[in-house]
Copies of this chain bind each other. A is one copy, B any other.
Amino acid sequence: MGLVSRPPNIVFIGKKPILTYLNATLTLLANEPTVTIKARGRSIVTAVDVSQMIVKRMSAMGYTVSGVRIFSERLESKDGKERNVSTIEVDVSKSQNA
């Protein structure tokens, strides 16, 4: 129930094994033309890895990276201070000619 307010085509990268996010993204791509993989801080590399696993290993399925955005978000850290945290959003889409 905690996921209700999240847009349905976003996969947020956390601390689970990378295959969790690969499967989540591929599951969403079965029904959505574009899925956004989002990550903050050290998880950014995992977001890029997931997108590349999909594009490289599933190339027969015709998936491409259709957009990459980077920005920073102000988040409150555990010590109560606000910090800028780098964020990435990678859009993966079905190719037009697939």
A interface list, Cβ under 8 A from B = 41-42, 44-45, 48-49, 51-52, 56, 65, 68-72, 84, 86, 88, 90
Contacts and interface: CB of A to CB of B under 8 A. Distances in A.
Contacts of A88: 48
This chain's copy number in the assembly? 2
Given A41-B45, A52-B86, 10 more contacts: A44-B44, A45-B45, A48-B70, A48-B88, A51-B70, A52-B70, A56-B84, A68-B68, A68-B70, A70-B90
A42 B45 CA distance: 6
**Which of A45, A49, A90: most chain B CB closer than 10 A?**
A45
Contacts of A65: 70
